[in-house]
Structure 1
Amino acid sequence: MTLDNQSVSNPVGRWFRRYILSFLADLRLAIALLLAIALFSISGTIIEQGQSLAFYQANYPENPALFGFLTWKVLLFLGLDHVYRTWWFLSILVLFGSSLTACTFTRQFPALKAARRWNYYKEPRQFQKLALSAELETGSVNSLSQLLQAKRYRVFQEGDSLYARKGIVGRIGPIVVHASMLIILAGSIWGAMTGFMAQEMVPSGKTFHVRNIIDAGPWAKSQVPQDWGIHVNRFWIDYTPEGGIDQFYSDLSVVDNQEQEIDRETIYVNKPLRHQGVTFYQTDWGIAAVQVQLNNSPIFQLPMAKLDIQGNGRIWGTWVPTKPDLSEGASLLAKDLQGTVLVYDAKGKLVSTVRSGMSTQVNGVNLRLKELIGSTGLQIKADPGIPIVYTGFGLLMVGVIMSYVSHSQIWALQKGDRFYVGGRTNRAQVSFEREVIEILDRLHEDKSTPDVPLQEAMQV
C-alpha cells in the first residue's frame, strides 16, 4: 500500500512542482498581475466609488458614451463602481499573493539556504570561476582570517581552506519584501471584506446612528456601531471678508444608547473624529431648517429643502403660511448660513431681505426670522485592514533597505607554496574589488615581501 501511495503521490507532486509552482513563480506572471492591480486601482481612483444609481446615470450616460463605450450600464455590470470589492479584483490579489508565495518558497528560501551553507575550495581551478581571484606566492589562511574578521566577515576555516561571508541580511531582504507585500495584500482584502462607507446629513442638535451605508463588504456588519451614536452639538461656518466659505466645523459628541457622552471632538476638513475604528470626516454642509415667528405666535421651525437651480450655485427654500387656512404664505430663500434670507410673497415678488433677529411685513403679518439651522454632511468610513496595510508598508521599507546590503563571499586555499584567494558579491562590485585588493595588500605587507609581485586575475 505504501508503494502504491508513493507511486501515485510522487508523479502528482512532480506535476504540481513542474507546472503549478513554476507557473505561479514566473516573474512574467507577477509583473502582469502587478500591472493589472495598478490599472484597476487607477480606475477605482478615477471613477467615483459607491455612488447612487442616479449619479452614474447622470455622469456616465449612454449617449454619448465616455470613450465610446463606458456607460453607466457597463460600469455597473463590471463592478467599476466598487472595484476593490469585486470578485475579479480580489481574485487578482489572491493570485498575486500566491505568485509571491511560490516565488518565496521556490527561489528566495533556497537562495538563502545556499548563502548560509559554507563550502571550501580544495582545488586551484575552482578559483578561476570567480569574478575576482588572485594567486599569491605568499600568504596564510590564519593571517587572512584575522584581516577578514577585522572587516566583519564571518570566517569558517578547515585546514588549509577558508571560507568567509558577510551581508547575509541582503539575502533575507527579498524574503522580507515578499512577506511585507503579502501582509499588504492581506490587509487590503480584509479591509475590502469588512469595511464600509456611509454618508449622513445631520442638523445641529440631532443625534444619529450610522444607517445610510452606501458601500460595504460582506462581513462589514460587525464594524457598524450598534451601541453608540453621534450627537451634533453645533455646526457653523467661518466666512472670509469677501463672503466666501473659509472653513466649516462640526462639534460632535460620541454618546452611548443612554445619551451619555463618551468622547467629543470638533472636526473640520482634514481633521476627522475617530472612535473605535470608525472615522467621521467633514465633507459637506446644508441648511436644514429655519425658525420664524408670526406676530406674537410661538417660535416654530420649518424644514428647508435644497432647490435645483441647474448647477448655478446652491440655494435652500421653504414656504411659511401666513393664514391659518394656509390660503396665503411667503417663500423664504437662503444661500448660506450668514443669516441673510430673501422673502417673497405669493406672487413671486421680492418683499424684503432679512437677517437673524430682524422682521418684515408680508401679507399683513409681521414675520420675524429667529435663526437658520445648519446641517453637517459627514462621510463615515471604517477599514479594519488599514493597520495591517501600514504594518506591511513599514516592513516593506525595512526589506528594501536590507536588500541593498551586499552579500559578499571570499574563499582561500593554501596549496604548496601558492596561496589562492577569490571572491564574489551580488552587488556593489567595484567596492568589493577595492575591499579585496586592500585585504591582499595588507596580507602582502604583513609578510614583508615588497619585491614579490601581486598577481591578480580578473574575470567578468
Structure 2
Amino acid sequence: MIAALKRYFKKDLIPLLADLRLAIVLLLVIAVFSILGTVIEQGQSLAFYQQNYPEDPALFGFLSWKVLLISGLDHVYRTWWYLSLLILFGSSLTACTFTRQITALRWFSRTWNFYSKPRQFEKMALSTELDTGTINQLTEFLEAKRYKTFHKDDTMLYAHKGLAGRIGPIVVHASMLIILLGAMYGAMTGFFAQEMVPSGNTFTVQNVFDAGPWAGPQIPKDWSVKVNRFWIDYSPEGRVDQFYSDLSVLDDQGEEVKRKTVWVNQPLRYRNVTMYQADWSIAGVRVKINNSPILQLPMAPIETENGGKLWGTWVPTKPDMSAGVSLIAQDLQGTLLVYNEKGELISTVREGTSVEVNGVTLSVPEIIGSTGLQIKADPGVPFVYLGFGLLMLGVVMSYVSHSQVWALQDGDKLYVGGRTNRAQVSFERELVAVLDELSDGDGADTPKELVTS
C-alpha cells in the first residue's frame, strides 16, 4: 500500500502539480477572486450588506447579501477555499521548482564535464574548428570577456558567465512561495477593527470586524491608546481639508510609550499594529445654563435626505425639563444652530460664546469631536514585502544570459563550441570576436566560420 502511494505520488501527482497549465489556471482563478475581494467591501456589518446588496433586485441578477455571506465573499482572503487555492498553487510552484528548476541546476553541474572528443562539438549550437591557437590563449581572451574558466589536462577547457540567469527562475519561484506563505500567515493571524473615540478619551481595541482564527495574540491587551486631541482643518470654502488625531500609546501602567499625530495616509505603528485616520464625528457638546456647572451632552447623528452630516442634542432650559432647545451642528468649525420646540431656528451660537434663549443664558464652552480610527495588524506583510523584493531581483537575474564555451586541443586542431540560453545573436557575435582575436594574436588567418546546428 505504501509503495503504491509512493509510486502514485512520484509518477502521477508530482507531474500533475508541476504542469505549467495547472499553475496558469490556478493563478488566473486566484487573480479573479482577489479582484472580487477588492471590489466587494470586506468585513462590513450585516446591515451594510443588506442595504447595498439587496435580494430584490439582486446585483447582476444573483449577487445578493445572502450569496455574499454564504460564499464568504465578504471575507474572501480568509475563506477556506481561497486559502486552499493558495496552498494548491504553492504546491504547484514547489513541484515545478524541484522537478524543473533544481533539476536544471543539477544538469548544469553535469555540463562541467569536459569534452574530450571532437565529435562532441558537432552537437553544440555553435561550433568551429581552428588550425591555430592554444587553450591558454583562448583562456586569456575569454577571461577578458568576464568568463570563468576551468581546465583539465591542459587540453580541455570549460568557461561560463551569467550564472545568475540560471538561478533567476529559482529565485522567482522561491519569492512567489514566500509571498503565498506571507499572505496565508497574515490571513490566519491578522485582524481589522474600527473605533470611534471622543477627543480626550482612552480606549482599547474592542470593535473587531474581521479577524483570522489565530489573531488572538495580535489584538492588544496590555496597552491602550489615548486620543489627546482631535481637530479638523477646513479650506476657505468651508470644506474639510484634513483631520488629525494626536494619539498616545499607554502601557498597562498608564505610562506613555509612544506619541504621534496621525492623519490620512500617515498612520501610527506600534507592535505590528497600525492605526489609520479614517473618519470623524461629533461626540458631544459642553454647555452651561446661567451659572450652572458645565454639562457634557452627547450628540447623535441625524439622517438627512441629501446624505449630509448633521448632529443634534436637546438642552433643557428649565430645572424640571419641561422646556428646552435643540442644538444642531454640521461640523467642528464651532457654529451651532439653536431650534425651539416647534422646530424653528431661533438663534446661532459659536463655541466659546453664549446666547439668550427661553429667558436663560446658554453658553457653549466646547464642541467635542470624535476620531474614527481603522486598526489593523497583518503579520504577513514583512514576508510579502520580502517576497516581492526577491521577485524583482529574480526577474532581473532571469534576463541575464548564461553563456557556456567548451574547447578541446587535439594536436594542431583547436575545437571550440558554445551555447547560451538567450540572446543567441549577441553570443554568436561575442564568440566570433574572441576567435578573431585568437587568430589575429597568432598571426594566422581568420578561423573557419561558426557552424550553427
Match of 1:342 in 2: 337
The structural deviation recorded for 1:120 is 2.6
SS in 1 for 2:246: strand
In 2, Cα distance between equivalents of 1:131 and 1:64: 65
Counterpart Cα distance in 2 of 1:90 and 1:11 = 29
List per-residue Cα deviations over 1:93-130 (Å, max 9, x = no partner): 11111111111111111101111221233333332222
In the TM superposition, residue 457 of structure 1 has moved relative to its aligned partner by 4.0
Q: Distance in 2 between matches of 1:246 and 1:148?
A: 64
Written as runs of structure 1 = structure 2, the 5 A alignment for 1:30-49 is: 30-49=23-42
Counterpart of 1:144 in structure 2: which amino acid?
L
Aligned pairs for 1:104-253 (under 5 A) are: 104-117=97-110, 118-159=112-153, 160-253=155-248
Question: What is the aligned counterpart of 2:421 among 423, 426, 434?
Answer: 426
- In 1, Cα distance between the equivalents of 2:375 and 2:235? 28
Q: Secondary structure at the match of 1:187?
A: helix
2:50 counterpart of 1:57: yes
Between 412-421 and 24-33, the greater mean CA deviation after superposition: 412-421
Secondary structure of 1:371's match?
strand
1:437 pairs with 2:404: no
Contact 1:277 1:384 in 2 (8 A): yes
Q: Which residue of 2 aligns with 1:14?
A: 7
The corresponding residue for 1:80 is: 73
How far apart are 1:351 and its partner, in Å?
A: 0.8
Alpha-carbon separation, structure 2, partners of 1:260 and 1:419:
80
CA distance in 2, matches of 1:229, 1:148: 66
Equivalent in the alignment of 1:447: 442
CA distance in 2, matches of 1:438, 1:357: 86
Structure 2 distance, partners of 1:320, 1:12, is 78
Separation in structure 2 between the aligned mates of residue 70 and residue 251 of structure 1, nearest angstrom: 42
1:25 equivalent in structure 2: 18
Runs of 4+ in structure 1 displaced over 4 angstroms?
Answer: 8-11
Letter in structure 2 aligned against 1:355: R
Matched residues in 2 for 1:227 and 1:61: separation?
41
Q: Is the 8 A contact 1:116 1:168 kept in 2?
A: no
Separation in 1 of the partners of 2:3 and 2:408?
42
Aligned mate of 2:399, from 400, 404, 412: 404
Out of 243, 252, 255, the position equivalent to 2:250 is: 255
Separation of aligned partners in 2, 1:200 and 1:50: 14
Q: Are 1:286 and 2:296 counterparts? A: no
| Pairwise CA distance, 1:418 | 3.1
Kept after mapping to 1: 8 A contact 2:432/2:450:
no
Q: Distance in 1 between matches of 2:10 and 2:162?
A: 31
Q: Distance in 2 between matches of 1:310 and 1:80?
A: 31
Q: How far 1:376 moved relative to its partner?
A: 0.4
| Match 1:320 to one of 315, 321, 324 | 315
The AA in structure 1 aligned to 2:45 is S
Cα deviation, residue 48, structure 1 = 0.7
Unaligned runs of 5+ in 2: none
Report the secondary structure of 1:133's partner residue. Answer: strand
Q: Deviations over 1:367-399 (max 9, x none)?
A: 222211001000001111111111111112222
Q: TM-score, normalised by structure 2?
A: 0.96
Which one-letter code corresponds to 1:401 in the other structure? V
Identify which range, 161-170 or 372-381, moves more after superposition. Answer: 161-170
Kept after mapping to 2: 8 A contact 1:240/1:246: yes
- CA deviation vs aligned residue, 1:377-429 (integer Å, no higher than 9, x gap): 00001111111111111112222222122111112223344322111000111
Please give the secondary structure, in 2, of the residue aligned with 1:332: strand
Q: Distance in 1 between matches of 2:229 and 2:5?
A: 68
Q: Does 1:298 align with 2:324?
A: no
Q: CA RMSD in A?
A: 1.5
Residue by residue over 1:245-283, the C-alpha shift from the partner in whole angstroms, topping out at 9 and shown as x without a partner, is 111111111112332211111111111111111111101
How many residues align? The count is: 451
Cα distance in 2 between the residues matched to 1:11 and 1:48: 47
Aligned amino acid, residue 121 of structure 2:
F
Write the deviation string for residues 139-168 of structure 1: whole angstroms up to 9, x where unpaired: 222322222223232223334332222222
Q: Distance in 1 between matches of 2:158 and 2:250?
A: 68
* Change in CA separation of 1:311 and 1:19 when aligned onto 2, cut-off 3 Å: farther
What secondary structure, in the 3-state scheme, does the structure 2 residue paired with 1:455 have?
coil
The answer to whether the 8 Å contact 1:198/1:211 transfers is yes
**What is the SS of the residue equivalent to 1:77?**
helix
How far apart are the structure 1 equivalents of 2:141 and 2:108?
A: 21
**CA shift digits 1:210-254 (9 cap, x unpaired):** 000000001111011111100111111111111111111111111
The one-letter code of the counterpart of 1:297 is S
SS at match of 1:313: coil
Residue equivalent to 1:3 = none
Letter in 2 for 1:371: E
Compute the displacement of 1:46 (Å): 0.8
Distance 1:127 1:9 in 2: 46
Amino acid at match of 2:186: G
- In terms of mean alpha carbon deviation, does 19-28 or 161-170 score higher? 161-170
**How far, CA to CA, are the matches of 2:191 and 2:104 in structure 1?**
42
Counterpart in 1 of 2:410?
A: 415
Whole-Å separation in 1 of the counterparts to 2:363 and 2:382: 53
- Give runs of aligned pairs for residues 269-280 of structure 1, distance below 5 A: 269-280=264-275
Shift of 1:31: 0.9
